[in-house]
A and B are shown apart, each in its own frame.
Chain A
Amino acid sequence: MFPKLDPILHSELRLAVISLLAGVESADFTYIKQQTGATAGNLSVQLDKLSAAGYITVEKGFKGKMPRTTCTLTPAGLEAFRKYIDALKEYISH
């Protein structure tokens, strides 16, 4: 019996965002957009879904006069990511 893949993570853009955030302490919205190649609208929707699942925190603020959105992976997000990778390894090894 294969383990179930987390549907929140099993989406190309959301998985890319979590993979990126797993390697940093925090990242700005623009950085994530540049690195994933996503459109601002789509990325914003996917970040909301990840945030609603408790996998990331999204902080909106200002740096000087410029608006700034910073995303950080939560411990729950890291744990879900770890389980997702373990599940993928199970799929591949069978």
Chain B
Amino acid sequence: MPERFAVAEEELTALAGNESRLYEPFLGVLPVDGLSISTFGDFLQAETISASNAQAFRLDELQFDLGEGPCWDALESGVPVLEPNIRERPNRVWPAFSEAIIADDLGALFAFPLSLGPLRIGAIDLYTSRPSQLSDLNIRRTSDLATIVSRLVLSRAIRLSQSDSEGEADTRKQFSHREVHQATGMVLSQLGISALDARLVIQGHAFAVGRSMQEISEEIIDRRLSFAVKENRIEGSHD
């Protein structure tokens, strides 16, 4: 079982640059009929990045249009929202969304948040046509896969926001700007994440507020900006 997830992790990582196919590895390891991956929230525009079929796409669209639903709650709370029987025995009711899915061929709906450190990026929605449970192991593994997806989706957003020349300049300058490396060290320590993720958090935050990585790094070093873990939120998204 765990090996299959390890394969899925590798497959996901290999899909960098082909984000519309990110749904594929999930179908091989989880007992679901479809899923979608979308960005929305604090700073990314609401957009379905990858959907395995029309039903999955529709579930995303509905939640975007109505501004409510499991994916919103998952991102808000930082923990998965599990609805093993969403139409007949829902754990919670959304005034408009619950109404909108009455006629859908829908049993269970599971929404996993996409986030990296303090950055709220989007969600993964998985569904089955008939009511079903997701085992604890599957929940943990899906959360791990969601971390990889978060990285890829955030990188994609940053990539698309930059012109090609800017992107090159950014890699070329990787040895410059000691401050960015120093700030990366502070953030990785604040959040207990890898250096690569910490750099991505700084990059994502810079992108979110429309400033340069250098400026954000200086704020972090001067201790005017901190990503230190706030209780509940980041704690809750793991395990």
Are A and B co-members of a single complex?
Answer: no
Measured CB to CB, the residues of A under 8 A from B are none
Measured CB to CB, the residues of B under 8 A from A are none
